[in-house]
Amino acid sequence: MVLVKEIYDKKEMFENKEILVKGWVRNNRAQKEFGFIDFHDGSFFNGVQVVYESELENFKDIQKIRVGSSISIKGILVLTPNAKQPFEIKASEVVLLGGSKEDYPIQPKRHTREFLREVAHLRSRTNLFQAVFRLRSVAAHAIHTFFQEKGFVYTHSPIITGNDGEGAGQMFNVTTLPLKDIPKDKDGKVYYEDDFFGKEAHLTVTGQLEGEAFAMAFRNIYTFGPTFRAENSNTQRHASEFWMIEPEMAFADINDNMDMAEEMVKYVIKYVFDKLPEEMDFFNKFVDTKLKDRLENVLSKKFERITHEEAVNILLKANKKWNVLPKQGEDLSTEHERYLTEEHFDCPVFVTDWPKDIKAFYMKLNSDGKTVAAMDLLVPGSGELIGGSQREEDEERLIERMNQMNVPVESLDWYVDLRRYGGCVHSGFGLGFERLIMYLTGVENIRDVIPFPRTPKNLEF
């Protein structure tokens, strides 16, 4: 049996030879004396045209094969350089392996993405989602390849945790307590001693804290796994379950952190360009006609670096009517991010030295006492892609920050230990994998880059 990808890679080797392929019918255009099957086997973005003629013993049965059916085909590969397709298979045998019923929802016509989300178990059979999820696979491999080639240790952080790494409180609870009769103590609080872990447990929002522990032993590590947020947000950029890439580096300051983030982003972009030219052409033609130019612009330019204060000053001086007025000490909105990257600099921008009051407890306090050594990477066409910081390595300052932000020191005593026992300057960042896939494909809704998305009120499949 031959894969379609092998035929595209070595078509001259198979020319005028009989081959066997197995896959699925995307379309079957039956005519009186012959017919054409659009055939895909999942190994390559493009399919193959199969020609079958009336001499075949089961010709009338082949004409009735429906879209979505799985089939086996024997035939001669014929090169067709003057046609739309580079080659076709002239079938000598077509065998139906698994039929498809008349109500098969993925017919050869344009379907809305909203409809396809309702049949997420079948949508990967369409061109768009074949391209998206193949790119997702390749981009994941690119991430691993990048860090492995640099000697980073891949670390599996826990999915069930007893701490809130972000201090945001938007976490899913994990419990074996009977929900219809939850045991409580005399003060009306949940009696967790009867629970599976004997304490309150959650699905993790980040692998960073555990990653820092491993960085203090292995120097450079990265996590790449699922994270969860119980945030009732229905935007195009938020999901309840998503994947995060989180490297942590010992003996690395905020500038080393930004260097690594820039190198990683450029590496992944180049990797998908090299490995998936057909998919990238498809995205550029049917999803976002400016996609390839935008990504190539990122590859060709050094990322700018400005402080949060400088960013706000640029925005205030801009001749723009803002929906949200930029202010010192406050977060940047999407319109601010896009102005900086698309109009003012025309390239990705690191914004550093953020106001401490809007950032997490573990970020290193700068000497001014007002800002932290944090960085956000903003990219054209998307906005924030990466968030990171130099971590606070001083035990006393870390505890002081935790107390100021009402982060329980006792339950994170092990995290403070990392400062007590051989602590050092260290940094890291987080990259939402789905945000990266959206950026690489031009697809605007996070629900369309996750195979089976989990969002508020949505737990299908």
DSSP assignments along 271-335, one per residue: HHHHH-HHHHHHHHHHT-TTHHHHHHHHHHSPPEEEEHHHHHHHHHHSS---SS---TTSPPPHH
Structure token pair of residue 200: 């309150």
| Alpha-carbon torsion angle 386, 166, 311, 443, nearest 10 | 40
Which of 329, 327, 300, 302 minimizes the C-alpha distance to 315? Answer: 327
Question: In sequence order, which residues have a C-beta less than 8 Å from that of residue 254 and are 6 or more positions away?
Answer: 352, 364, 373, 374, 375, 389, 390, 427
Cα–Cα distance measured from residue 248 to residue 315, given in angstroms and rounded to the nearest whole number: 32
Provide the whole-model pTM: 0.94
Buried b (16+ CB within 10 A) or exposed e, 436-456: bbbbbbbbebbbbbbeebbbe
Cα–Cα distance measured from residue 424 to residue 275, given in angstroms and rounded to the nearest whole number: 39
Neighbours of 74 (CB within 10 A): 14
Which of 392, 310, 317 minimizes the C-alpha distance to 349? Answer: 310
Do the beta carbons of residue 348 and residue 304 sit within 8 Å? yes
Which of 39, 42, 46 minimizes the C-alpha distance to 8? Answer: 46
Cα–Cα distance measured from residue 157 to residue 430, given in angstroms and rounded to the nearest whole number: 14
Torsion sign across C-alpha atoms 85, 89, 94, 97 = negative
How confident is the model at residue 168, as a pLDDT? 59
Do the beta carbons of residue 353 and residue 307 sit within 8 Å? yes
Please identify which residue in the block is written with the tokens 């977060």. Answer: 331
Structure token pair of residue 343: 């109009």
Give the SS3 label for residue 4.
helix
Q: How many residues does the chain have?
A: 461
Do the beta carbons of residue 161 and residue 202 sit within 8 Å? yes
How confident is the model at residue 169, as a pLDDT? 61
Do the beta carbons of residue 370 and residue 415 sit within 8 Å? no
Give the SS3 label for residue 84.
coil
| Alpha-carbon torsion angle 221, 224, 229, 232, nearest 10 | 130
Q: Which segments of 301-351 does DSSP mark as H helices, in order? A: 308-317, 334-338
Please identify which residue in the block is written with the tokens 């550093």. Answer: 352
How confident is the model at residue 83, as a pLDDT? 87
How confident is the model at residue 105, as a pLDDT? 96
List the chain pLDDT tens, one digit each, 461 residues. Answer: 999 999 999 999 999 999 999 999 999 999 999 999 999 999 999 999 999 999 999 999 999 999 999 999 999 999 998 888 899 999 999 999 999 999 999 999 999 999 999 999 999 999 999 999 999 999 999 999 999 999 999 999 999 998 876 665 689 999 999 999 999 998 899 999 999 999 999 999 999 999 999 999 999 999 999 999 998 888 888 899 999 999 999 999 999 999 999 999 999 999 999 999 999 999 999 999 999 999 999 999 999 999 999 999 999 999 899 999 999 999 999 999 999 999 999 999 999 999 999 999 999 999 999 999 999 999 998 889 999 999 999 999 999 999 999 998 998 999 999 999 999 999 999 999 999 999 999 999 999 999 999 999 999 89
Return the H-helix or E-strand segment holding 51.
Answer: strand 48-53
Structure token pair of residue 308: 């949060």
Cα–Cα distance measured from residue 14 to residue 5, given in angstroms and rounded to the nearest whole number: 12
Long-range contacts of the stretch 40-43 (C-beta < 8 A, 24+): 40/4, 40/125, 40/130, 41/3, 41/4, 42/130, 43/3, 43/4, 43/5, 43/6
